Structure 1
Amino acid sequence: MKRPYKLTFLAISLGVALMGYQVSQNYLPHVSTYESAASTEGVNSVSQPLEPKDFLTEEERIENQIQIALDSDPLSLLERGEKALAEQDYQTAYALFAAASELKNATAVYKLASMLEIGAIGGEPDTERALELYQVAAQQGNTDAIMILALYYETGMLVTEDLTKATDYYRMAADKENYQALQWLMDRSRTEPTFATAKQVTQWNLSLAKHGDMNAMVDAGMAYYSGKGAELDKRRALQLFEDAAEAGDDSAHTMLASILLYDRDIERNPAQAVVWLRESAEDGNPRAQAMLGIVTSSLNDIASEGITFDDERAYEWVKKSMNQKYPLSYSYAGQMLLAATGTERDIPQAVAKFEEGARLGNADAMVNLAWQLVHGQGIEKDTARAYQLIKAAADQGYPNAIYNLGWLYEHGHGVKQDYAKAVEHYKAASKLKDPSGTYNLAEMYEFGRGTDADTEHALELYELAHRLGDTRAAEKITTLTKQG
């Protein structure tokens, strides 16, 4: 995966102005007697921990003893070296970094490599030895060294381009939660679906979330919420969504609201959902505006606890969303026009809103338009078109559309009546926790339509439909329980 060439990290990490850089003639020259095992192809990883004798010259080690005798604290040597570097006293900086390297300080090894690469020592760049020292610093765990090697192998700078090696280094840096490395791996996983497992992607997102990446918080939350890429944990998902919402992510606001309104696996909190929606709606988010409109209207008969309805204001929110051409808002507007909620009843105008929402590809609008076509309300009756619309919405995976497709097969509207296919679609809708689909599936088992009669299983399904919010199920549960 190639990207545009970027400036190296050297100018930043060293604080050296490369433009107009002049090399003093009295700098410590590179020792020509040193025999390096490095090559321009890079250095193989060493399995055993490296000793200073493996990467410092004999002359450097002798000089180091003087520095170490005066100061044996590697962090102090490093700090003094960085001060000398800032003062452009390269010879002193190099000597201090070398002494700290003798004491196995990985940052000091990286600094030595950086100075050698740009020719701060000896007057000429020594990329061969610099690469070797970058390898040493990387092996010792220095993230800067790991990242510079990743960049070099990715771009072919100083080494032969090798995406496999670049990826290995980016993975090493990601294990240290380096933000740039994590972003690189995530970018590649998006363009190459087989590059990483869903579980690995979730781990990268969790690491990015620690850096405050809102998109990563939402993606990790979705993994925990769906159980895809992480073990199902809706409470952890909620925390991640909340973190993203508090950081200002609009998608997290609406995701939180949907869960708090409709997910019965957690303690629902419609009033808090409205708080999240209003915050995002006032910032101009069209999805939040549409959701806030329908939720704060009297059409909300599923999750209304703690909500004060205001139909006129609700319709205004929906209109704001329509002004931004948000597809779902047209479906909500159509429903409100049909029910005279926050506005006068206007069936033809309702149908027009459904038509526009369907044209924009919204599954809910397709289903609502289909119902008008089935009943010939505000539009000429056309069950064949109704079937096509509902099937198109079902093909999007919309649970309510899948349920309605089953209903069409059960009653033979726009398609030949087929109880078996009705059961098939009700089952699919029930798996997606659609309450109406679950209720209708229970009826099919109760009366033996499209399947063998099974009142025990029917009762289980009615109980599930009741938990999902279907108000019709309570009476069925009472009846079948009395029958035994």
Structure 2
Amino acid sequence: MRFRHFIAALALALVPATGIAQDHDRAFEAYYAGDYQRAMREWRPLADRGDAVAQYYLGWMYDYGEGVPQDDVEAVRWYRLAAQQGDAYAQSSLGWMYESGEGVAQDEAEAVRWYRMAAMQGNSHAQSNLAQMYLTGRGVQLNDAEALRWYRLAAGQGVADAQYGFGWMLDEGRGVAENDTEAMQWYLLAAEQGLAEAQYALGYMYDEGTGVQQDYAEAMRWYRLAAEQDLVFAKNSIGVLFDEGRGVEEDNAEAVRWYRMAAEEGSVSGQVNLAWMYYVGEGVAQDYTAAAQWFQTAAEQGDADAQLELGVMYDSGRGVARNSAEAARWYQMAAEQGVAEAQYLLGGLYDSGVGVVEDDAEAKRWYRLASEQGHTQAKSQLDKLEGRGTAVDTVVDSLAEALTRMLLCREQNAENCE
């Protein structure tokens, strides 16, 4: 994640204790007064003479278009000059440019190299970014232990993203024994700094009673804070609380409002929830067509439950024209993701030859998969189908045996061979 990471006192501390300091003083004074062009005029001569701090700030100003037209390529040039002189902030920024492919060809391995140089000097934001690279295996081999180590160092320096990342690893038990209580503490530190992801995680823990006593009102409070920063997951979760009356008075219309916001912003869970509200007519007028549209939006993004429900709607002709072949297609997608009900329904289509070519072997396969997950109806249908097969096999075997005896009899010229 990108960090706007310079602070006046720290920046001044980076300046060599020489006469150059006065030039930097004037540049910083202009910069923090918002007079970027004057700051650029003060820093440019210093940067041209090889001053690493000035080079870093020139890179920053080109990066953000402050006092000059925004120019990623020029930003990279100045960051590199400062980074090659060992400036940790420039190394961290150059690492980001390589990670994101801004002003330079994207190269995650090169990003890791620059992050590591800065992190080894104690740069907290580079430490956090390096941890993320280890956690996701980008530019370096995935290594939870290394991710945890760098997150811990950055979190200890107060970096909100690192506090959240460290908390998440404790929450998930990645690279460390799972510890929900300690995870909660780190989420809180990041949430109090305004990090939306941490606010959502904190809300979720209050919602579920994980690492803390369950408290729906607190869950709602943290979800709202995250939602105010447009975190889509939080909007869906607020909808769920209104839908179920947890921590607030049940209000289906308000639930629909939040589900719609989440759905329109791409939340698959929000799309599925909104589809159900249309399907059952809660908080909104019942509308099977709208339900089918939202189920389809979620299904096309790979949501197995939505794929199942869309299949059911094509199977029954609710909200869409009845189409057994289309039902089979959506059942298949959900069934391949392990949804027992979809496996059962798909087995039924193969059993009856509706929407697909009748195929007892395929019917048995899908019934069996559903049955193995405890689906009782699938087990019953599988038993019937296998029983039917056994009866047919018995008849065929008997006929084959009778034919064999008749042919043998005739070969021996015996009488009464029928």
Structure 2 length-normalised TM = 0.56
How far apart, CA to CA, are the structure 2 residues paired with 1:212 and 1:268? 27
Tell me the alpha carbon deviations over residues 148-195 of structure 1, each in whole angstroms, 9 at most, x when there is no partner.
9xx9xx9xxxxxxxx99x989977985775425524633543354862
Spell out the pairing of 1:58-457 with structure 2 (5 A cutoff): 178-179=87-88, 181-183=90-92, 185-186=94-95, 188-189=97-98, 190-192=100-102, 195-262=105-172, 267-297=177-207, 300=208, 306-390=211-295, 392=297, 402-412=303-313, 416=323, 417-424=326-333, 437-440=337-340, 443=343, 447=347, 452=362, 454=365
How far apart, CA to CA, are the structure 2 residues paired with 1:207 and 1:365? 42
Sort the Cα spacing of 1:445 and 1:193 in 2 relative to 1 into closer, same or farther, 3 A: farther
Aligned to 2:7: none
Tell me the alpha carbon deviations over residues 75-127 of structure 1, each in whole angstroms, 9 at most, x when there is no partner.
xxxxxxxxxxxxxxxxxxxxxxxxxxxxxxxxxxxxxxxxxx99xxxxxxxxx
How far apart, CA to CA, are the structure 2 residues paired with 1:389 and 1:356? 13
Q: Which has the higher contact order (CA 8 A, sep 6+)?
A: 1
Deviation at 1:252, TM superposition (A): 3.2
| CA RMSD between the two structures | 4.9
How far apart, CA to CA, are the structure 1 residues paired with 2:292 and 2:104? 37
Q: Secondary structure at the match of 2:256?
A: helix
Sort the Cα spacing of 1:191 and 1:292 in 2 relative to 1 into closer, same or farther, 3 A: same
How far apart, CA to CA, are the structure 2 residues paired with 1:293 and 1:441? 32
1:15 to 1, 18, 22: 18
User: More displaced, 442-451 or 203-212?
Assistant: 442-451
Structure 2 unpaired stretches of 5+: 1-14, 23-44, 63-71, 351-355, 384-418
Preserved contact between residue 290 and residue 332 of structure 1 (Cα < 8 Å): no
Sort the Cα spacing of 1:388 and 1:276 in 2 relative to 1 into closer, same or farther, 3 A: farther
How far apart, CA to CA, are the structure 2 residues paired with 1:226 and 1:363? 23
Aligned pairs, number? 307
Tell me the alpha carbon deviations over residues 409-453 of structure 1, each in whole angstroms, 9 at most, x when there is no partner.
4423556543344444665xxxxxxxxx54559947995979946
Preserved contact between residue 296 and residue 311 of structure 1 (Cα < 8 Å): yes
Sort the Cα spacing of 1:196 and 1:17 in 2 relative to 1 into closer, same or farther, 3 A: closer
Sort the Cα spacing of 1:294 and 1:196 in 2 relative to 1 into closer, same or farther, 3 A: closer
Structure 1 unpaired stretches of 5+: 1-11, 20-116, 119-130, 135-142, 155-162, 428-436, 463-472
How far apart, CA to CA, are the structure 2 residues paired with 1:390 and 1:256? 36
Preserved contact between residue 446 and residue 458 of structure 1 (Cα < 8 Å): no
How far apart, CA to CA, are the structure 2 residues paired with 1:247 and 1:446? 55
Deviation at 1:309, TM superposition (A): 1.0
Q: Secondary structure at the match of 1:381?
A: coil
Task: Write out the 4+ residue segments of structure 1 that deviate beyond 6 Å after TM superposition.
Answer: 166-173, 263-266, 448-451
Deviation at 1:335, TM superposition (A): 0.8
